[in-house]
Amino acid sequence: NAGVTQTPKFQVLKTGQSMTLQCAQDMNHEYMSWYRQDPGMGLRLIHYSVGAGITDQGEVPNGYNVSRSTTEDFPLRLLSAAPSQTSVYFCASSRRGQKADTIYFGEGSWLTVV
């Protein structure tokens, strides 16, 4: 019963370093998303994908890249980490359609950039 799996759970980076947050789902969901959550600001959409090979920018895409080579995986890449990217990152997946209960969140990745 894996659902949406995110790795790593915790990471500390130095300014300028690059890294990839991994997200995998085993529910054959078409839609996958990355959100970041900062204190007092709720979750904000970074990038979005409706299927393999298709990605779209969300509200706060700058500094992040994504790709969707398979249905299962949706990695988020930080090219050159900045302190402003210190946040909690959540990956989410859902199947195509409008059913409310199909949006599943991973457990989150806590990232600190020093």
Partner 1 sequence: GQNIDQPTEMTATEGAIVQINCTYQTSGFNGLFWYQQHAGEAPTFLSYNVLDGLEEKGRFSSFLSRSKGYSYLLLKELQMKDSASYLCAVRAEYGNKLVFGAGTILRVKS
Kindly list the residues in this chain that would bind partner 1 in the complex (CB under 8 A): 31, 33, 35, 40-45, 48, 50, 58-59, 90, 94, 98, 100-103, 105-108
**Residue (80 or 110) nearer to partner 1, CB:** 110
- In whole angstroms, the minimum distance from the beta carbon of 15 to partner 1 comes to 25
Question: Of the two residues 14 and 99, which places its CB atom closer to partner 1 in the complex?
Answer: 99
Q: Between 2 and 100, whose beta carbon lies closer to partner 1?
A: 100
Q: Which is nearer to partner 1, 55 or 67 (CB)?
A: 55
Distance separating alpha carbons of residues 45 and 1, to the nearest angstrom: 26
d(CA 84, CA 107): 21
Where do the DSSP E strands lie in the chain? 4-7, 10-13, 19-25, 31-38, 42-51, 54-57, 64-66, 76-78, 87-94, 104-105, 109-113
* Nearest-angstrom CA–CA distance, 30 and 28: 6
- Shortest approach of partner 1 to residue 110 CB, angstroms? 9
| Cβ at position 11, least distance to partner 1 in Å | 16
In angstroms, give the least distance from the CB of 45 to partner 1.
Answer: 6
